[in-house]
Structure 1
Amino acid sequence: MKFSEMKYERPDLDKVLAQCEEYAKKMAAAQSGEELVQLYREENAMMAHYHTASCLASIHYTQDTRDEYWSGEQEWFDATGPAVSNAARNVAEAILSNPHAKALEEAFGTRILPSLRNLVLSMDDRVIELQKEENALTSAYQKLYGGAMAELDGKQLTIPQLTLYKQSTDPAMRRKAYEAEAVYFDAHRAEFDEIYDKMVKNRNEQARILGYNDYSELSYIRMNRIGYGPAEVAAFRQEVVEQVVPMIQKALALRNKRTGIENPMFWDSTISFADGNPVPHGSYDELMAGARKMYHELSPETAEFIDFMQDNEMFDVLSRPGKMSGGYEEMLPDYKTPFIFANWNGTAGDVDVLTHEAGHALEGYLAARSPKNIPEDIQCPGMESAEIHSMSMEFLTAPWHHLFFKEDTDKYELLHAEDSFIFLPYGCMVDEFQHIMYQQPDLTPDERNAVWLELEKKYRPWNKFGDLPFYGRGAGWQRQLHIFECPFYYIDYCLATAIALQFFVASLKDHKDAWQRYMKLTNLAGMATYTELAESAGMKAPFTKGSLTELSRAVADWIEQHQVS
């Protein structure tokens, strides 16, 4: 079924809650493991209808945040979603109370019982009203950001559309693009500050009610992190500072030599070649045709997948006014279909996001059709694992990148490797910033910005802002959607990048073998933890001292050996 043909109907909230309550009673009383497994499957199928409606409303809302009808539907889910989440939490508690709960692990893998425990520990009915308020604040941020327009070059541009100007070969134009962006954020400075302040206090209050010191503790439960915690993540961040940052500084020295920029400022960080960054060659239709050819040649599974996606209108990737910034993949479980949302802007990032979100979508597409008949709740792994699918796909499609970049393919490969490497300290900076924000919730807006600038010195010491507005005062974090919408998610990209770069190195030696290992990991869906998934593909989780030493050296060496003028 095409996306435009999918009918939306607001769920009957009372019916959904009553069904959850009924399943909770049945699961608590199940007389055998077999009965409990069957009830779990039935409850998942029932909730799939609610999740499909919720996702349809969210997709339509983000496609145009100005649309009154879809804004209203999003507000309804914002208000009612916490009650449904609490009902799901009660179902999980009922399962865990049953003496036959171990049968779920035998049926669905090691991750399911810890996930259910985390769900029970992550909320209860005491925080429902606070969660409603949190959802409303998130929607307010989306609307504020989604409505952002900037004037530049005689045009009214969305924030994503500014990216092309930020990559201009003219340094004056690059700075003007950043200044144009700053005009909007500075004009709405008080609103962004107020929304975030309320979010921090709201989430910390939820954590306090549930028995945690602050939201940074609760977030590890809500993000369903299994087998590692804050200490391991802190150790990973330190590894990035010690092992990756010095290698990046060497790579950036090579980049500066290529561009001829002797004293690079922050607004020069987006230019990688003296004659300009590589950009995709072709129209929207030509690029989508290239994607179809690429996935047809990659494997039988990806061939079937891309035909389904393109033939059923499951891509919305062009930027336009009112459309929410960013990109995502969302599953519509009733239809067993992924949907890909992005904001193409004519830069190399268009291909990055195409392959990235396709990695998510392929996993969801395969899991929904798995012969293992995997229940919806465990079709997708934890987010740090899900990002392995997406970030590794960016590298594993390399043999076909010429379809998009033609004679500039070598430039794109170098740019992509550099940017993936450079991302690691930025992602860690976002994570440490959030820990500080929730552990010191009474910081003023100016103090928050000062923390961000201090972290810049630690993680990205090469950045020089000068008198650039917005960024120069340390407020650049406010354009990072995840900090507002899904706190503590961002480190997942870093943990996944640590695995994706291993796939990159492996693919250079034997692409066929790397792809087979990727598919082995992907086909485990949500039935294994992050560490288990990494091990299934012969990769190493990056939590021990020195775990990034060899990898960072291998990536830095590749970058040095593949310089393109």
Structure 2
Amino acid sequence: MLKFSEYPYSRVDVVAVQNQLKDLVKKIDSCENSDNLYDLFMEFNEIKSNVESMSTLSSIRHTINTQDEFYTKENDFYDEMLPVLQESYITVDKAFLANKNIEGLKQRVPETYFMSKEMEFASFDSCIIEDMQLENKLTSKYQALLASAQILFDGEVYTLPALEVKTNDKDRSVRKEAMKAYWGWYQEHQEEIGDLYDQMVHVRTKMAKKLGYSSYIELGYKRMKRYDYDQNDVAQYRKQVLEDVVPFDSSLYEKQKDRLGYDTLYAWDEKIEFLSGNPTPKHSREEMVKRALNMYKELDPKTGEFFQYMVDHDLLDLDSKKGKAQGGYCTFIPNQKSPFIFANFNQTSHDAEVLTHEAGHAFQVYESQDIKPLDCVWPTYESCEIHSMSMEFFTYPWMKDFFEEDIDKYYFNHLSGAIKFLPYGVLVDHFQHEVYANPDMTPQERMKTWRELEKQYLPHKNYDEIEILEQGGWWMRQSHIFMDPFYYIDYTLAQVCAFQFWVRQQNNDSKAFEDYKHICKIGGTLPFRKIVKEANLIVPFEQGCLKETVEKISKWFDAHQDVK
């Protein structure tokens, strides 16, 4: 049994792959029957799986240690070469679609594959390869910059993720000073970060113009593969959040202020729900993984099998350490049929959420790994996040094993954080629409735009003594804005779906987890709206969906206001 550290890696021979693909195109052009065409399609899938396996291994090992010279060079290589290979992939896809037996292939391949190809054809041309390479370099540079942060606080040196622990400290003065130190680093690097983003905005806009779009917004939606909704749907959804969620969240913040006994709720107070301190896991990382394994075995035989596999193969890298990229993610190594979970534990409730949120992603891809082609193993992002956010709720009965006497505080904190997240997630999306609709804004104008939108979606914000935040600098820490433009509304759409699973749990609906397993199994074979309906949930765009959800959450808080 191979451990992750033993997974073999070799740099992709791009020239050899390109020659394979050229030969494949010739075979496709001369293919006379649908069975042979399907065999060629599977051959193409195998080639792509090999490339993705090596590039993903390289990426994982680079993020585990951004100071590793070998994998930094490998990461740079894929930044350069993956856009080149994408051109070759599209040539092969076009050959398949031009074959007279394509209808036979369409009967054997999920509909989303062909929807995906339509989006890819509309979002790629060889004329933008150099721009894509520059985009990759800029995102890697941003990631490395944040990973390099070494911040002196209270006599010790912290990374950004590690310092976040102090911003949640029970002591109000510690929180305040930690937040000032945290954002002091961003203020010191404000010009560099602003310039990096400015370059990203302009190169993305340049790509859009080359492809005939009026702005990057249109291209961004194609790249995100928004199959069955558009900008109008998203704008209407944002409006629902403003009308139904923002007022409710404002009342939660007001009650939080009163519960804490403060005259004013400052930015450094927001993450503290209780004067006695926020809920924290009571165990080491090793013990938490053991308890997570027991939890998943008791939840369902399938989840038990999945997490045992993750543990046996060392597919969880959870410790925060020097040189490690910040944040967390789940990815998949096709050749090994292995999900991989990356995180930065920091002794907060976030650690337990990693073992549920990222494990939700990992369980989905573990269940759908045998779907062919590889392109349909994962759904689009807003559907992916249903799996992760819903798993956070389905594991509620076991959270006592992690939080013990803090369990009631955990439930309160988690549900509060989830509903408070919606306006922030929508703000990130709205900001990006404004940025790409007005790409020539200066970095200062972008800061001003963020702050103006923030006052709509998060009217409670008080940034006293933190100048960069009052100017509108919070967005600089949101890596999705830099690395995955327009990937954020997805979290909020999925959260609304996850809330619906939570309501079904509250109602003791025995079919809820079966519906959840079902949508994990179907992976990316359907677009977002259809996946939501397969789960027997309401599509978040539907008028009234948010209003109904907020009413049910409000009743829960009314019944749990005595938690301290």
Question: What is the match of residue 195 of structure 2?
Answer: 194
Structure 2 SS opposite 1:130? helix
Name the aligned partner's letter for residue 391 of structure 2.
M
Number of aligned positions between the proteins: 562
- Per the normalisation by structure 1, the TM-score is 0.97
Measure, in 2, the Cα distance between the counterparts of 1:362 and 1:319.
23
The answer to whether the aligner puts 1:295 opposite 2:296 as a matched pair is: yes
Which residue of 485, 489, 510 corresponds with 2:483? 485
Query: What does the per-residue CA deviation read over 1:130-152, in whole Å, with 9 as the maximum and x for residues that have no partner?
Result: 11111110111011011112111
Quote the offset at 1:511 in angstroms: 5.3
Name the aligned partner's letter for residue 154 of structure 1.
G
Structure 2 SS opposite 1:342? strand
Name the aligned partner's letter for residue 393 of structure 2.
F
Quote the offset at 1:88 in angstroms: 1.6
With 102-111 and 68-77 compared, the bigger mean Cα shift is at 102-111
Question: What is the match of residue 410 of structure 2?
Answer: 412
Question: What is the match of residue 445 of structure 2?
Answer: 447
With 252-261 and 388-397 compared, the bigger mean Cα shift is at 252-261
Question: What is the match of residue 214 of structure 2?
Answer: 213
Contact 1:104 1:113 (8 Å CA) reproduced: no
Name the aligned partner's letter for residue 526 of structure 1.
G
Query: What does the per-residue CA deviation read over 1:406-450, in whole Å, with 9 as the maximum and x for residues that have no partner?
Result: 111111111111111111110110011011111111111111100
Structure 1 SS opposite 2:255? helix
Name the aligned partner's letter for residue 240 of structure 1.
V
32 and 282 in structure 1: CA distance in 2 versus 1, 3 angstrom threshold: same
Aligned CA-pair RMSD: 1.3
Structure 2 SS opposite 1:339? strand
- Per the normalisation by structure 2, the TM-score is 0.97
Contact 1:337 1:365 (8 Å CA) reproduced: yes
Structure 2 SS opposite 1:108? coil
Question: What is the match of residue 381 of structure 1?
Answer: 379
Measure, in 2, the Cα distance between the counterparts of 1:341 and 1:46.
26
Quote the offset at 1:100 in angstroms: 3.2
Name the aligned partner's letter for residue 453 of structure 1.
R
Name the aligned partner's letter for residue 462 of structure 1.
H
Quote the offset at 1:99 in angstroms: 3.8
Question: What is the match of residue 8 of structure 1?
Answer: 9
Quote the offset at 1:28 in angstroms: 4.5
Name the aligned partner's letter for residue 60 of structure 2.
I
Gaps of 5+ in 1: none
Question: What is the match of residue 178 of structure 2?
Answer: 177
Contact 1:248 1:556 (8 Å CA) reproduced: no
Question: What is the match of residue 231 of structure 1?
Answer: 232
Alignment of 1:388-467 (within 5 A): 388-467=386-465
Name the aligned partner's letter for residue 530 of structure 2.
E
Structure 1 SS opposite 2:305? helix
Quote the offset at 1:473 in angstroms: 1.8
Alignment of 1:130-209 (within 5 A): 130-209=131-210
Quote the offset at 1:66 in angstroms: 1.4
Name the aligned partner's letter for residue 206 of structure 2.
E
Question: What is the match of residue 518 of structure 2?
Answer: 520
Measure, in 1, the Cα distance between the counterparts of 2:14 and 2:514.
44
Measure, in 2, the Cα distance between the counterparts of 1:559 and 1:108.
46
Contact 1:417 1:559 (8 Å CA) reproduced: no
Question: What is the match of residue 551 of structure 1?
Answer: 549
Question: What is the match of residue 36 of structure 2?
Answer: 35
245 and 27 in structure 1: CA distance in 2 versus 1, 3 angstrom threshold: farther
Name the aligned partner's letter for residue 502 of structure 1.
Q
Measure, in 1, the Cα distance between the counterparts of 2:113 and 2:180.
48
Measure, in 2, the Cα distance between the counterparts of 1:97 and 1:461.
54
Question: What is the match of residue 95 of structure 2?
Answer: 94
Question: What is the match of residue 110 of structure 1?
Answer: 111
Measure, in 2, the Cα distance between the counterparts of 1:391 and 1:49.
30
Name the aligned partner's letter for residue 411 of structure 2.
E
Contact 1:431 1:491 (8 Å CA) reproduced: yes
Question: What is the match of residue 474 of structure 1?
Answer: 472
Name the aligned partner's letter for residue 93 of structure 1.
K
Amino-acid identity (%): 38
Measure, in 2, the Cα distance between the counterparts of 1:522 and 1:146.
32
Measure, in 1, the Cα distance between the counterparts of 2:396 and 2:509.
10
Quote the offset at 1:265 in angstroms: 1.1
Quote the offset at 1:29 in angstroms: 4.4
306 and 174 in structure 1: CA distance in 2 versus 1, 3 angstrom threshold: same
Question: What is the match of residue 249 of structure 2?
Answer: 248
Gaps of 5+ in 2: none
Measure, in 1, the Cα distance between the counterparts of 2:382 and 2:71.
30
With 23-32 and 438-447 compared, the bigger mean Cα shift is at 23-32
Question: What is the match of residue 270 of structure 2?
Answer: 269
Structure 2 SS opposite 1:528? coil
